[in-house]
Structure 1
Amino acid sequence: LMKEIIFITTQGCRVKRKDNQIVAFQEKEKIASFPINRIEKLFVFGNVEITTSAVSFLLSRNVDIFLLSQTGKLKGVITTPLKSNYNNRLKQFRAYFSEKNLYIAKFFVEKKIYQIQKFTGQDLSNYLKMLKNADSYNQILGIEGNVSALFFDHFKEYLKDKDLGFEKRQYNPPPDPVNALLSLTYSIFYSFLFSAALSRGYDPYVGFLHRKRGTHAAFVSDVMEAFRVDLTKFVGILFNSRFITLEDFKQENNTFHLKPDSLKKFIRIYHKNFIQDKDYKKQIEKFFLELEEVL
């Protein structure tokens, strides 16, 4: 049975357990139901109530529950007690406190450079050389910063519709629709990788390229770097094909959000192209296997 990742975005609805189903109600009306054995993960956006019995039932079947704001910022994860695979965690800590630290930071940046090279068609071998020879954390960060800036310059040209107002990557808050959709796309994937890291026994907070600040899961952001280019290109394609346009957003407090129906439309295509895509799941699997080799 193909398990699915379920997204609940309808504001004000209530999620309950009913026999072997997880059911969403709006007022008294049932708007969706999912057999428990079909659910892989549950994402809940914004103002959605979920009963304790539904939470307990999901946890008993090893389903992680992600609580996100209406704009997709991760607020928290309800997850079963940690799997006892702590070998990876020990390897991660050992590497963090050893000379290997920089080598692993480089591993993440190298992955990103290859991705950018593929997307832009530019020859970035000089950056790869610089990365290889870098002998301090700050040098590595500098190289990553430069390549990222180069990438977003290229992305800006890649976007056909100049009225979207995209200049460069900006968040907190995103000042234009493109940045808003990038933030949402990254945030959902970050949540997804958060649970992937946990289930493989890693500590989401001990990063190599990103260093901890606040509640930021630095290790998850490290892993994100290997996928960020694909995610960004996906957002570009949505705008270029006019699947998502300016009309899909509402503007408030100097930032942009997808309208409720547009959020549903976006989640559907994101779900199909990334989240539920078999090849993509394989890519994530392959990446974690490579990482195990390096650690």
Structure 2
Amino acid sequence: MKTLIISDHGSFLTVKNKIFVLKKDKKKIAEISPSEVDEILITASILVSTQAIRLAISHGIDIIFLDIRDSPWGIILPSIATQTVKTRKRQYEAVINNETKYGEEIIRSKIYNQAVHLKYWARKGIRTDYNSLLTKYYNEEPTAARVYWGNLALILPKDINFQGRDVDSIDQFNLALNYSYAILYNRVMKYLFIAGLDVYLGFIHKDRSGNESLVFDFSEMFKPYVDFILVRAFREGFRLKVKEGLIDRDSRSELAKIIVKGLEEKVKEEDDHNPKSVNQAIRAHAVKFASSIREKRDYKGFRLVM
């Protein structure tokens, strides 16, 4: 997936001769053909012309907006959802009937992938307690989470001072997680929407007005790989510049590039001998998940092999 990242405040995205034109202070910075872009990620306060939005939609390009606290506040998607009515009717029925098997499989896959992530570092000579996630805590998500994040705290460089997962913390790694998950959420939202599912009705997270519960549910399986991308980057020397609890502009741009590139990496999956990128895996599983719900079949989640 090719991503155009716009992180410079005051930029202006417009169109000339059916080509995206990016400007700053009335000076042209770049010209980008829509054939070279799959998504546009906007992380700063900029202007976007209606012509640019129209060109993006006509080429199947989604536009994602993140605020200064790295939370997604909007996404523009082409209207290309499939089998929407049939899929959503079954989704509503499954939730009303409390068919817990879909949410349970997502959580099991998440814990499995967390264990695989820890096992990767164990093979690199770092002692981790990955086996307990697959034995003692496989069906105990809160305890599994404490074990997992406690292990990551030992894997990360000490100067990061990571004490565990806390969405409100302003340490570098928690801020990086918040930002990176926001990018993941928008990828997941796109593919769930295309698969015909209602992104606001989940099986795990509570329904709240404006809360994309199914996006948060489905993302759980893929978060451990995002965690891996970040841990690897921090162990290789990547650091964020943080001011007053916010990631500075240059760091946000660099972090976005790391995550976007990482989601293009090929991964292997249990019972699937054809490696695919993380983005392709998300798309494939969104279709598989929708089909399983629609046809009242069991769903097997995304399970990494590393």
Q: TM-score range by the shorter chain?
A: 0.7 to 0.9
Q: Which residue of structure 1 aligns with residue 278 of structure 2?
A: 280
Query: Any idea what SS the aligned residue of 1:167 has?
Result: coil
Two-structure CA RMSD over aligned residues (Å): 2.0
Whether 2:163 is the aligned partner of 1:167: answer yes
More displaced stretch, 201-210 vs 61-70: 61-70
Q: Which residue of structure 1 aligns with residue 102 of structure 2?
A: 104
Query: Any idea what SS the aligned residue of 2:162 has?
Result: coil
Deviations, residues 179-215 of structure 1 (Å, cap 9, x unaligned): 0001001111111111111111111111101112343
Deviations, residues 220-265 of structure 1 (Å, cap 9, x unaligned): 01111101111112111111110x12xx31221xx231x3223232
Residues 55, 107 of structure 1: CA spacing in aligned structure 2 closer, same or farther, 3 A cutoff? same
Moved over 6 A (4+): none
Equivalent-residue separation in structure 1 for 2:279 and 2:65 (angstroms): 22
Equivalent-residue separation in structure 2 for 1:29 and 1:95 (angstroms): 54
Indicate if the aligned counterparts of 1:174 and 1:183 stay in contact, CA closer than 8 A.
no
Matches within 5 A, 1:11-26: 11-26=9-24
TM-score by length of 1: 0.85
**By how many angstroms is 1:56 displaced?**
1.7
Deviations, residues 83-122 of structure 1 (Å, cap 9, x unaligned): 252132222222112242x111101111011112212232
Indicate if the aligned counterparts of 2:195 and 2:287 stay in contact, CA closer than 8 A.
no
Q: Which residue of structure 2 aligns with residue 6 of structure 1?
A: 4
1:264 is aligned, of 253, 274, 277, to 253
Letter in 2 for 1:282: Q
5+ unaligned residues in a row in structure 1: which ranges?
132-142
Q: Which residue of structure 1 aligns with residue 46 of structure 2?
A: 48
Whether 2:141 is the aligned partner of 1:151: answer no
**By how many angstroms is 1:38 displaced?**
2.2
Q: Which residue of structure 2 aligns with residue 113 of structure 1?
A: 111
Indicate if the aligned counterparts of 1:165 and 1:176 stay in contact, CA closer than 8 A.
yes
Identify the structure with the greater helix proportion: 1
1:83 is aligned, of 81, 92, 97, to 81
Equivalent-residue separation in structure 2 for 1:217 and 1:290 (angstroms): 19
Identity value in percent: 20
Whether 2:236 is the aligned partner of 1:241: answer yes
Q: Which residue of structure 2 aligns with residue 134 of structure 1?
A: none
TM-score by length of 2: 0.82
**By how many angstroms is 1:178 displaced?**
0.8
Q: Which residue of structure 2 aligns with residue 203 of structure 1?
A: 198
Indicate if the aligned counterparts of 2:62 and 2:76 stay in contact, CA closer than 8 A.
yes
Equivalent-residue separation in structure 1 for 2:65 and 2:280 (angstroms): 25
Equivalent-residue separation in structure 2 for 1:183 and 1:228 (angstroms): 11
Query: Any idea what SS the aligned residue of 1:127 has?
Result: coil
